[in-house]
Amino acid sequence: MPSSYRAIFTAPGTVAFSAAGFLGRMPLAMMGLGVMTMVSEITGRYGLAGSLSATMAVSAAALGPQVSRLVDRHGQRRVLRPTVLVSLLAATGLVLCAQLRLADWTLFLFAAGVGCVPSVGAMTRARWAALYRQSPRELHTAYSFESVVDEVCFIFGPIIAVGLSTTWFPAAGPVLAGGFLAVGVWWLTSQRATEPVPHPAEHHTGGSVLRSRGLQVLVAAFVATGAIFGSVDVVTVAFAEAEGHKSWSSLVLAVYALGSCLAGAVFGLLHLKGEAPRRWLVGVCAMAVSMIPLQLAGNLPVLAAALFVAGLAIAPTMVTTMALVQAHVPRAKLTEGMSWTSTGLAVGIALGASTGGWVVDAHGAAAGYAVPGVAGVCAAVVGLTGYRLLRPAPPAAEPTREGLSDRDDREQDPEQSHLA
């Protein structure tokens, strides 16, 4: 492990909460794709499978920020354990209804309940932020490491979910995803020493952090980015099936994540001094351009190569996004701010998965890659039009210490001046 990564793990408890966060995030890559594979295996209906995956994503988008807001006020342990129980019970109901081939509305009912799942990635990033708030380089490396962990989940998660559901029994992927969620969250919340200190209600005045114009731009761009991810997942499974190798779809999607993983690992070793908003805009536009080769892929090897190249833009953009979130929200609401980006991603995944599934049903698998292409264009448009809102404001007159608000404290944080 390079020295920059070794350095961030010198703080006590970092290895344990990072490992727990890894397990707790595996369902992010497994549950939606596992449910989609389970339903398509049982019913053969990709439209229904994509819609159920979209329902879970929309539910997570609606409930996730509320869960994170409660976490900021009351702490991770008190909030995460009850919400995970609700999600696991709903996932159990979804699996049973699918196996028993009950009415479609029962599937959607329980799929909505599955969305009551915490953003484990936001919880682990909040722990890193609490440890290294005054150490910008270490925090940059920690965020990069977390992006690598995300992509490792997306490398192995689809392989496990799709592989088990297609070769063992249809519900194997969702069942194992639920197990990962339970173990990961219980382990993470048992580690009290690194849990960020909750902020009382008086620190949460001013309404939602989504009022920040900069955060609105990031969330909107992540909706389009999520549409890329959701549609690529659905269309790739259908494309692999059309090629006669459905189980290979998990390997192709793993290659996509591998590209992002490698890019994130290298990005974490760099200490860039340019403007973070400019790096973010370049990353968003690079993701949009990388969707073009997918339209020309005629077989699985070519598709895998195109997805690997497309993945190279993902992790660096995600890391920069987390830095920008921290620059645009108060400290007391950091977990909520990070969760809003996850919400945007979840909404986009829902839209992309649903639209991709219906396009595949109507026009075939190859035509489905037009969906991530359009989503990439939308992301670039949002980035280009909203870029100015992400740039740092001109320096204001120095206020007195007594007059500093929570936002003033944040803007004077040396970490923010480095990231800007």
Point out the least confidently predicted range of 158-162, 299-303, 375-379, 413-417. 413-417
Which pLDDT score, from 0 to 100, does residue 344 have? 81
- Domain map (residue ranges) of the chain: 12-196+210-392+407-419
At residue 2, the pLDDT reads 63
222 C-beta neighbours (distance < 10 Å), count:
27
Is the predicted pLDDT of residue 397 greater than 50, yes or no?
Answer: no
In this model, does residue 165 exceed pLDDT 70? yes
Tell me the pLDDT band of 408, cut-offs 50, 70 and 90.
Answer: very low
pTM for this structure?
A: 0.71
The tokens 């489905």 sit on which residue? 368
Name the band, by pLDDT with cuts 50, 70 and 90, for residue 419: very low
CATH topology of domain 12-196+210-392+407-419: Growth Hormone; Chain: A; (1.20.1250)
Q: Give the pLDDT confidence score for residue 201 in this predicted structure.
A: 55
Task: Please determine, for residue 262, whether its predicted confidence score (pLDDT) is greater than 80.
Answer: yes
Encode the chain in three state secondary structure: CCHHHHHHCCCCCHHHHHHHHHHHHHHHHHHHHHHHHHHHHHHCCHHHHHHHHHHHHHHHHHHHHHHHHHHHHHCHHHHHHHHHHHHHHHHHHHHHHHHCCCCHHHHHHHHHHHCCCCCHHHHHHHHHHHHHCCCHHHHHHHHHHHHHHHHHHHHHHHHHHHHHHHHCCCCHHHHHHHHHHHHHHHHHHCCCCCCCCCCCHHHHCCCCHHHCHHHHHHHHHHHHHHHHHHHHHHHHHHHHHHCCCHHHHHHHHHHHHHHHHHHHHHHCCCCCCCCHHHHHHHHHHHHHHCCCHHHHCCCHHHHHHHHHHHHCCHHHHHHHHHHHHHHHCCHHHHHHHHHHHHHHHHHHHHHHHHHHHHHHHHHCCHHHHHHHHHHHHHHHHHHHHHHHHHCCCCCCCCCCHHHCCHHHHHHCCHHHHHHC
The pLDDT confidence band at residue 293, using thresholds 50, 70 and 90, is very high
Tell me how far apart the alpha carbons of residues 253 and 246 are, in angstroms, rounded to a whole number.
12
Is the pLDDT score of 238 beyond 90?
A: no
Q: Summarize the confidence of residues 250-263 as an average pLDDT.
A: 85
Average pLDDT over residues 335-346: 77
- The pLDDT of residue 415 is 36
Tell me the percentage of the chain whose pLDDT exceeds 70.
90
Q: Could you report the per-residue pLDDT of 100-153, keeping only the tens digit for each?
A: 888 889 999 999 888 777 778 888 988 988 888 888 788 888 888 888 887 778
76-88 average pLDDT score: 90
How far is it, in rounded angstroms, from Cα 58 to Cα 55?
A: 5
Whether the pLDDT of residue 355 is over 70: the answer is yes
Mean pLDDT of the chain: 81
Residue 242 has what pLDDT? Answer: 85
